[in-house]
Amino acid sequence: MVPRSIYFVLLASVAAASPAAAQQGGGAGKLLLTNGISTVEGSSGGGLAPWAVISGNETRDGFGAQAAVTVVTLPDYDLKAFSVAVGLRDRLELSYARQSFDTNKVGGALGLGDNFSFDQDVWGAKVKLAGDAVFGPTWMPAIALGVQYKKSLDPLVARAVGAHERSGADLYVTATKLILNYSLLVNTTIRATKANQLGLLGFGGPNGTQRRVVPEASIGYQFSRRLVVGAEYRRKPNNLAFAREDDAWDIFAAYGIGGHLTATMAFADLGSIATVDGQRGLLVQLQGSF
């Protein structure tokens, strides 16, 4: 079950996107889209990689929040993520996401049963250490340090596929800059992780039990104040023996609908998942923020 609080925050944020609310809050807070969208793990950034930005529309003078529903439709699987994040004075971010990975008919072939779903909770925290993603010198990006604690809700299955643990923590450092003169956003993230398929299949395995340092990157071009088009890449460890795990990438477009609602669509390539190759499909996200 998805916590009702996530639906409540999302509905409140969408309501805030009404013309009346936009008139009341017009002009305040961050520039449009500079709070990022919600990753599938709940933190603010791109769909795959976190950025050194803090969730919500408020600046260092206030508190903001955002909530999102993300659906990734693949040839043989489906991933749904429901997330909420709070930004405190544009310095600290706290986030939560519930992920549900539906195996559809592949679950039956693997002996799990048709439409078997892997579920995971992700609790996150991020603190901005220095710099600013938008303002200040071009050479000085925003720099943030983050942690994501992940807990598989299917521990027996995680152990059955060879995972050593059902829970684990990813640590990451990220740097982000929007170069206004060129309308160009660049981001680099370094993550230390032992998660299998983002943690949905547990942590560690026969090919490795320690955290591995892997890179992530994002780049985007701002065609207008409302539209950003870009791409992301995420390296992943390959800990399990029964199936390889490929790196992931996407090409995305994010559009700001008013100041409080963002719609995102992406073509995502997640490679081979649980012995099934060619998992490429569509990512769609609706995010409300204030």
Give per-residue pLDDT as tens, 111-158: 777 888 889 999 999 999 999 999 989 899 999 999 999 999 988 888
**CA separation for the pair 76, 103 (Å, rounded):** 7
* Domain covering 4-289: architecture: Beta Barrel (2.40)
- 13-33: per-residue pLDDT in tens? 443 333 333 333 334 588 889
The β-bridge partners of 214 are 191
HEC string for 33-45: CCCCEECCCCCEE
pLDDT of residue 28: 54
What's the rounded mean pLDDT across residues 235-252? Answer: 93
Is residue 150 a contact partner of residue 170, using CB atoms and an 8 Å limit? yes
Distances (CA, A) of 84 to 81, 167, 286: 10, 20, 12
Beta strands (DSSP E) in 53-201 are 63-73, 78-88, 92-102, 117-130, 142-152, 167-179, 184-193
Q: Return the domain boundaries, the chain.
A: 4-289
pTM for the model stands at 0.87
- Other CB atoms within a 10 A radius of the CB of residue 240 amount to 22
**CA separation for the pair 271, 41 (Å, rounded):** 19
- End-to-end CA, the chain: 25
Quickly state the pLDDT bin for 106 (edges 50, 70, 90).
confident
